[in-house]
């Protein structure tokens, strides 16, 4: 990807799954990377795992809290010197029928997936304005575009991320800050494995995934990481306010 060598990248939710793969891809592209995560031990493990690929450090914080989001961004700016790219990736998910969702569960889902994304992006956006621009890539989902049973709270949070990103693009473009949104479909990650429960990857994909995806398989975290790198790079210099769907054709048949 053009223009990524030497860039300073903050990956929120970077200690596992897609975020970890994105951090590794940015390191492979020659970037310096700072990873955030909720669990301190998991962040330390991620940093250890990523060190062979390049210069990386990390910080544990709850991005659903103002103080947590600000602390993460401040720590990243201090460690990196500045932030050129935000891979705004932190998120949670679980299955729950609509009529069984409690207000507390609904609030927690939106607190992390939407409020947390807003708080981190706002703090980074203020930082980027001060230094003349940057690139922000928010993480939504195909669930933000089309509804899926048993995910009303998750769907609502990811739909909100889409319009958050569009509005950020309208308001931040004048400062040289490009904002785009990623919308993965079903991707093999520890989070999705926890949703699958006792089923193996093969069993879950056979019953829930393969017949819905024209390419006949679930996606890989590395494939979403490649999309992160593209949207952050100069190859996407005129891509702004867009959603990039990475779903193997899933939405084409929904």
Cα dihedral value 170, 175, 178, 181, nearest 10 = -50
Q: Name the DSSP letter for residue 112.
A: I
What pLDDT does residue 212 have? 87
Instruction: Determine, yes or no, domain membership for 46.
Output: yes
- Answer yes or no: is 119 within a domain: yes
> In terms of C-beta density within 10 A (0-12 exposed, 13-18 middle, 19 or more buried), how is residue 194 classed?
exposed
Q: Which of 151, 154, 186, 228 is catalytic?
A: 154
- Report the DSSP pairing between strands 85-88 and 134-139: parallel
**194 occurs within a structural domain:** no
Largest distance between two CA atoms of the chain: 50
In a domain, 249, yes or no: no
Question: Computed from CA positions of residues 130, 64, 190, 153, in that sequence, does the dihedral angle turn out positive or negative?
Answer: negative
Does 110 fall in a domain?
yes
Number of structural domains the chain divides into: 1
In a domain, 146, yes or no: yes
Residue 175 appears among annotated catalytic residues = no
φ/ψ of residue 108, rounded to 5: -65, -40
- Residues belonging to the chain: 254
pLDDT of residue 29: 98
Give the residue numbers spanning the domain of 121.
8-184+218-242
Q: For the chain, 254 residues long, give each residue's pLDDT as a single digit of tens.
A: 899 999 999 999 999 999 999 999 999 999 999 999 999 999 999 999 999 999 999 999 999 999 999 999 999 999 999 999 999 999 999 999 999 999 999 999 999 999 999 999 999 999 999 889 999 999 999 999 999 999 999 999 999 999 999 999 999 999 999 999 999 999 998 766 656 555 566 666 666 677 789 999 899 999 999 999 999 999 999 999 999 999 999 999 86
Q: Supply the pLDDT for residue 189.
A: 81
Provide the terminal-to-terminal Cα distance of the chain, rounded to the nearest Å. 32
Say if 126 falls within a structural domain: yes
For residue 193, is it within any domain?
A: no
pLDDT at 211: 79
CATH code of the domain containing 116: 3.40.50.720
């Amino acid at each position: 990807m053009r223009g990524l060598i030497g860039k300073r990248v903050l990956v929120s939710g970077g200690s596992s799954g897609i975020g970890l793969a994105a951090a590794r891809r940015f390191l492979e592209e020659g970037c310096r990377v700072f990873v955030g995560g909720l669990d301190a031990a998991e962040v330390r493990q991620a940093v250890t795992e990523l060190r062979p690929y390049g210069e990386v450090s990390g910080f544990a914080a709850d991005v659903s809290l103002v103080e947590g989001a600000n602390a993460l961004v401040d720590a990243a700016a201090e460690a990196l010197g500045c932030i050129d790219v935000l891979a705004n990736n932190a998120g949670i998910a679980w299955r729950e029928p609509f009529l069984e969702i409690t207000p507390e569960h609904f609030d927690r889902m939106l607190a992390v997936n939407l409020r947390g994304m807003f708080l981190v992006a706002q703090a980074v956006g203020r930082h980027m304005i001060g230094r003349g621009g940057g690139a922000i890539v928010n993480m939504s989902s195909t669930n933000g575009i089309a509804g899926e049973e048993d995910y009303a709270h998750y769907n609502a949070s990811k739909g909100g991320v889409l319009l958050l990103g569009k509005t950020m693009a309208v308001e931040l473009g004048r400062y040289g800050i490009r904002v785009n949104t990623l919308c993965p479909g079903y991707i093999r990650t520890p989070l999705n494995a926890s949703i699958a429960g006792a089923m193996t990857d093969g069993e879950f994909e056979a019953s829930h995934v393969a017949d819905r995806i024209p390419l006949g398989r679930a996606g890989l975290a590395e494939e979403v990481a490649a999309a992160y790198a593209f949207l952050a790079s100069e190859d996407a210099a005129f891509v702004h306010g867009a959603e990039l769907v990475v779903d193997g054709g899933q939405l084409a048949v929904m």
